Structures are given as C-alpha cells and as structure tokens.
Amino acid sequence: MKIDPKTQDKFFNILKAVVIPRPIAFVSSQSKDGVLNLAPFSFFNGVCYDPPTISVSIARFAGNKPKDSLVNIEETGEFVVNLVNQDIAQAMNKTAAEYPADVNEFEVAGLTPTASEIVAAPCVLESPVSLECKLIQVVPVNEGSSKECGLIIAEVVYCHINDDLFDGRYVDMKGLDVVGRLGGHEYCKVNDLFEMRLPIYKEE
C-alpha cells in the first residue's frame, strides 16, 4: 500500500504507530497565577548534550481550548519533565483529559508536588527522575492553523534522580522501569533489555 498523508485523514494513526516507542515527558508547569498543571507529551526527545537540551512538541489547541502546558511554558519560561514508570502510568493517564485551566492536575492524579531547586514549577515526588527546564525557544510549526504545534526547546538546568538509580556513571535502566508510548491506546514496558557495544573503526 502506498499512502499520501494528504489524502489519508487517519494518517496521524500511522505516524503515532511508527515513530515508536516514544518516551513520555510528564510535564509539570505553573500558570502565572500559580495554578499547577500536569500533562503527558510523547513528542519528546533529546536535542544536544552540552548544555543538556530537550524538545517537547505541544499542539497549541485541543479543539478550541488552548493547551495549558504550552500557555504556562510560554508565559513563565519554565517547566519540569518528570519520567513515567509503571507505578505512576495510570495517574499520568488521568491528567491527559482536557481539564479547564483552573484545575490542579496534581490533585486529579493524586500525585505530590515537591519543590524544585531552580524553577518555580514543582517536580512530581513519585517520579523516578525529574528534569527542571528553562525555555530556550518555541518554534511554531504550522503557525496560524488550528493544528499549530509549539516545538519547545529547553535547557535542563537541574536533575533529580532517585539515589538507587545512578551509580555515578550509569543509570540503572531496569530499575528506571519507564513506560513508552506506542500507537493506538498501547504502551510498552521498557524493561526487556539487550546490549550492543559501539564498534571501533581501525584503519588497515
């Protein structure tokens, strides 16, 4: 089958199913009036190591409603990316409904906000890793359309990681126990691991 994305109105189902598995940025942010917000975003990735930089793509609207996370990040320039392990996967999912801007999604999810070191937005206590981020740039994609996205590029300015997950050199990948996003309603458990060493090229 050959598909032109412009003529297949369910192409987003293909895109979400083939760009996999996606890490989930469980983003905590704060409005300028101090309302706490939590929401998951899986169009999330690393951008560069030094300074540590990540990207998260957030659609500007859900229907007619602006997505609160994007509004908060643009207004305050700060947020936290929390990782999602199996223990908090259900709680994460609860925050993905389109709640009004004045709803505190920590309460919806039954999760605990805990003070960050540098940014005003709190970390999620129950998350194994939290990355405090400062906004570098929002790159508008498809600007002016109802499908507009804001590609957020941000520097990681502080990291919280559970003591038992980092030995000073490597992260315990099995212990991290994160979940990944697939297509449809499916997720995967990132705990079935294998190793490959980088090959070394030697000139003959």
Q: Measured between alpha carbons, how far is 55 from 69 in angstroms, rounded to an integer?
A: 14
Q: Are 137 and 56 in contact (CB under 8 A)?
A: no
28 is a contact residue toward ligand FMN (CB under 6 A): no
Residue 155 CB neighbour total at 10 angstroms: 16
Tokens 């996606």 map to which residue? 22
Whether a cis peptide bond, with omega within 30° of 0, leads into 66 is no
Question: Which one among 23, 28, 54, 68 touches ligand FMN, defined by CB under 6 A?
Answer: 68
Q: Which stretch binds ligand FMN (CB under 6 A): 65-73, 111-119, 151-159, 188-196?
A: 65-73
Q: Are 84 and 132 in contact (CB under 8 A)?
A: no
138 is a contact residue toward ligand FMN (CB under 6 A): no
Alpha-carbon Rg for the chain, nearest whole angstrom, is: 18
Question: Which one among 53, 93, 162, 191 touches ligand FMN, defined by CB under 6 A?
Answer: 93
Question: Which one among 35, 36, 94, 96 touches ligand FMN, defined by CB under 6 A?
Answer: 96
Question: Which one among 28, 30, 42, 55 touches ligand FMN, defined by CB under 6 A?
Answer: 42
Q: Which stretch binds ligand FMN (CB under 6 A): 57-65, 122-130, 166-174, 193-201?
A: 57-65
Q: Measured between alpha carbons, how far is 61 from 63 in angstroms, rounded to an integer?
A: 6
**Residue 65, both tokens:** 């409603």
41 is a contact residue toward ligand FMN (CB under 6 A): yes
Site residues for ligand FMN, 98-127, by CB under 6 A, read 98
Q: Measured between alpha carbons, how far is 86 from 177 in angstroms, rounded to an integer?
A: 6
**Residue 34, both tokens:** 């101090």
Q: Which CB atom, from 98 or from 117, has the smaller least distance to ligand FMN?
A: 98
Q: Measured between alpha carbons, how far is 61 from 143 in angstroms, rounded to an integer?
A: 12
Q: Which CB atom, from 160 or from 181, has the smaller least distance to ligand FMN?
A: 181
Q: Which CB atom, from 40 or from 128, has the smaller least distance to ligand FMN?
A: 40
Total number of residues that touch ligand FMN (CB under 6 A): 19
Task: Report the interface residues with ligand FMN, using CB under 6 A.
Answer: 24, 37, 39-43, 57-59, 62, 67-69, 93, 96-98, 181
